[in-house]
A and B are shown apart, each in its own frame.
Chain A
């Protein structure tokens, strides 16, 4: 198989380059893109990428495969490269540290900005706080986010304003806490998001929805936050 992979070592290279290679893949098995990366690394140990769980839950190996963001470990080669050539690049829009490794700092800072923890100032009971199954159901499709950054780095609004627009991943988590019946900081959370950028830079492009490897829908969550902000009369 023909593979083209983005290479850049800041100590060695003035600018990034695409390295072309041919790799014999074992027959009769549809490998995941991560398996291909591991085969490449066995041949050239210097290629750098993040990976860990290899089952799509840790969120380490978000990369861009033939133009589409996803997790290398759960993307079959046949799906990433239906026409036979695999092109691997780092997630777009974030500074490249080396090869397929990006600096996630900007992404994590947006996550930290939304107060990503439960706020409840009443003294906790001796047991658990009660929550009805219906209220708990509201967290589904939100809490499962693995912070892989596939969505935010597929979002043109995030590319433009990575410092001011929270981005789909951060906003999905913002709504995860707004939607939690146990959280008591709704007003403060909304107040922190009411500026023209944090939420309202979302243009409904929905790239986030189309690339999310966990099948989550940040656009819908952002819509719910907008509705909450607007119904507060902001």
Chain B
């Protein structure tokens, strides 16, 4: 293949969401030649949809709040497979990261004292679970993600970051030494294919909720970073752990923030009963998301679902009063009217647990450096590659993420990766030059689609994949169904390898993008299916009907998945925080 045009940067960040832009800001502010490469204009990234808040113990609502309490809650929420060194880091630097956002201009809601407003969120407690509900989610009304993302974009404009907007990442370029030299990318407007060379490549591509037929995720959340990493021979970790958010709007899938329950809303079944009192007597509607989602499905399975098909439950807010709803939850009011045709100040919102967040991802250390497993079973850093945000698994969320911890994850680890890259540059780290064939390898799948002349349509294959995942890898999972799905997905892989891209045009060809995205969806779906079947226990979001208990003897560990041989391995969870005693596994009740 002819040599591709080449662009060179110190650091290239793939993805313009909260994590990517926080990392880019760190690099650009230190004068490094920094590019954000994003398939959408940055403020359209999915961070914009985050609603309720960003968790940090800033002590505005409760002066006694302590990051160690936040750490305890996060460890417990993770069902004990979150890495305690990473959680310690996130919770301890969280307040600083939030103050930085405020200094950049983020329009947080305020208290009477003029401080940042904080609201209660599920799974957040005081006094190591013994002191009642904590108010720890720092909020900008119910548009926290929007406020955060726009603020970070603005700060990057100020810092002079280069934006490659509407560029699609095709694949990583791996050199003969196994290190990452950059990536091959496609400029969407012109169809031009370019080798983007960088001393540090940062994957900040977000989640992959679109492997499910219904999800709160944006249409573009197709796991592009996971696909790129798996094809490049790197593992993914805990990829079976998918969070189902308790309150997606029935049928539409659109998210209704947990902040609704934080502000005093609660769930009722068809009889109007506040059923969470039975499942989680203390935290009730603010138990962990996995717990609430399972309870809702149980109610529906027991025949207490609402609506003509008894297939959802109701989120009641009207008792909060119109003024509170309009003041604290204006975005929710809009979404409910548009997608559920109800005014939450008068009627309850029909909701159902909906795929929301990928806890697993590319394993990294606390600096965002991507890790793989060496032959001796030890962690090995992949040269030149970082991963941050939802695509990464550092791991702070383990088997179940707490609400408002994802925005915190983005800014804390975006910043951490930026700081680490700055140091590496100061120590004189250079480009890792690839051979021409290394670059060619990264164009292979693009060439495959461009040369296809017949075969099945992308849209049909995607629908089938999404249906398999929705039916078989939902809130409850069964071994038989998962095993059958693994076969179905293997078939689908062969069909996708022969599928057809009819439109070969050059300019803004979105059919080509959807074909490339389908490759990525398949990688995520198959990894999810194989590891979910292999993890023979129930933990956090992974609930099996054939292995109903948590099995700490065998599975108090991360799963690792390698696509080359579709193998599942294990990796130890970190129980060695540096400033506090580790939290030991206990029965998880709310």
A residues within 8 Å of B by Cβ? 9-12, 41-42, 45-46, 48-60, 74, 97-99, 101, 103-104, 108, 112, 116-118, 120, 124, 126-133, 135-136, 139, 143-144, 146-147, 177, 180, 182-183
Which residue in chain B gives the minimum CB-CB distance to A96? B508
**Within residues 176 to 204 of chain B, which ones have a CB less than 8 A from any CB in chain A?**
189
Nearest chain B CB to A51's CB is how many angstroms away? 6
When the two chains form their complex, are residues A117 and B104 in contact, meaning their CB atoms are under 8 A apart? yes
Q: Does B339 contact A (CB under 8 A)?
A: yes
Nearest chain A CB to B210's CB is how many angstroms away? 11
The interface residues of chain A lying within 8 Å CB-to-CB of B130 are none
Which 10 residue pairs across A and B have the least CB separation, nearest first? Answer: A118-B105, A130-B114, A45-B511, A117-B154, A58-B44, A128-B102, A46-B503, A98-B508, A124-B103, A53-B218
Central interface residue in A9, A116, A143, A183, by most chain B CB within 10 Å: A143
The interface residues of chain B lying within 8 Å CB-to-CB of A143 are 107, 140, 147, 150
Q: Does B300 contact A (CB under 8 A)?
A: no
12 A-B interface contacts by CB (under 8 A): A11-B507, A45-B459, A48-B509, A52-B219, A55-B49, A57-B146, A58-B45, A60-B44, A117-B158, A120-B103, A130-B114, A144-B146
Nearest chain A CB to B363's CB is how many angstroms away? 28
When the two chains form their complex, are residues B510 and A52 in contact, meaning their CB atoms are under 8 A apart? no
Q: Which of B115, B154, B338, B502 contacts A116 (CB 8 A)?
A: B154
Q: Does B40 contact A (CB under 8 A)?
A: yes
Q: Does B99 contact A (CB under 8 A)?
A: yes
With contacts A56-B338, A97-B189 known, is A45 near B40, CB below 8 A?
Answer: no
The interface residues of chain A lying within 8 Å CB-to-CB of B102 are 128-129
Nearest chain B CB to A134's CB is how many angstroms away? 9
**Within residues 191 to 248 of chain B, which ones have a CB less than 8 A from any CB in chain A?**
218-220
B residues within 8 Å of A by Cβ? 40-41, 43-46, 48-49, 58, 98-99, 102-105, 107-116, 140, 143, 146-147, 150, 154-155, 157-158, 189, 218-220, 254-255, 331, 334-335, 338-339, 457-459, 501-503, 505-511, 514
The interface residues of chain B lying within 8 Å CB-to-CB of A136 are 107-110
Q: Which of B44, B49, B507 contacts A98 (CB 8 A)?
A: B507
Instruction: Please measure, in the bound complex, the distance between the C-alpha atom of A59 and the C-alpha atom of B40, giving whole angstroms.
Output: 11
When the two chains form their complex, are residues B503 and A45 in contact, meaning their CB atoms are under 8 A apart? yes
Nearest chain B CB to A132's CB is how many angstroms away? 5
When the two chains form their complex, are residues B338 and A59 in contact, meaning their CB atoms are under 8 A apart? no
When the two chains form their complex, are residues B48 and A132 in contact, meaning their CB atoms are under 8 A apart? no
Nearest chain A CB to B393's CB is how many angstroms away? 24
When the two chains form their complex, are residues B105 and A55 in contact, meaning their CB atoms are under 8 A apart? no
Which residue in chain A gives the minimum CB-CB distance to B109? A136
Instruction: Please measure, in the bound complex, the distance between the C-alpha atom of A144 and the C-alpha atom of B334, giving whole angstroms.
Output: 13
The interface residues of chain A lying within 8 Å CB-to-CB of B40 are 50, 52, 58, 60
The interface residues of chain A lying within 8 Å CB-to-CB of B113 are 130
Q: Which of A57, A99, A127, A132 contacts B49 (CB 8 A)?
A: A57
With contacts A45-B459, A128-B99, A128-B115 known, is A53 near B507, CB below 8 A?
Answer: no
The interface residues of chain A lying within 8 Å CB-to-CB of B147 are 143
Q: Which of B157, B335, B505 contacts A9 (CB 8 A)?
A: B505
Instruction: Please measure, in the bound complex, the distance between the C-alpha atom of A96 and the C-alpha atom of B556, giving whole angstroms.
Output: 55
The interface residues of chain A lying within 8 Å CB-to-CB of B103 are 120, 124, 128-129
Given contacts A57-B49, A130-B115, 11 further A-B contacts (CB under 8 A): A9-B505, A52-B219, A57-B331, A127-B58, A128-B58, A129-B102, A131-B114, A133-B112, A136-B109, A143-B147, A180-B107
Nearest chain B CB to A30's CB is how many angstroms away? 9
When the two chains form their complex, are residues A52 and B509 in contact, meaning their CB atoms are under 8 A apart? no
Instruction: Please measure, in the bound complex, the distance between the C-alpha atom of A116 and the C-alpha atom of B185, giving whole angstroms.
Output: 29
Instruction: Please measure, in the bound complex, the distance between the C-alpha atom of A49 and the C-alpha atom of B220, giving whole angstroms.
Output: 13
Instruction: Please measure, in the bound complex, the distance between the C-alpha atom of A99 and the C-alpha atom of B511, giving whole angstroms.
Output: 13
The interface residues of chain A lying within 8 Å CB-to-CB of B146 are 57, 144, 146
Q: Which of A41, A97, A183 contacts B507 (CB 8 A)?
A: A97
The interface residues of chain A lying within 8 Å CB-to-CB of B511 are 41, 45-46
Which residue in chain B gives the minimum CB-CB distance to A138? B107
With contacts A60-B44, A97-B507, A133-B112 known, is A55 near B335, CB below 8 A?
Answer: yes
Instruction: Please measure, in the bound complex, the distance between the C-alpha atom of A126 and the C-alpha atom of B457, giving whole angstroms.
Output: 56
Q: Which of A74, A97, A108, A147 contacts B338 (CB 8 A)?
A: A74
Which residue in chain B gives the minimum CB-CB distance to A112? B157
When the two chains form their complex, are residues B110 and A117 in contact, meaning their CB atoms are under 8 A apart? no
Which residue in chain B gives the minimum CB-CB distance to A53? B218
When the two chains form their complex, are residues B218 and A10 in contact, meaning their CB atoms are under 8 A apart? no
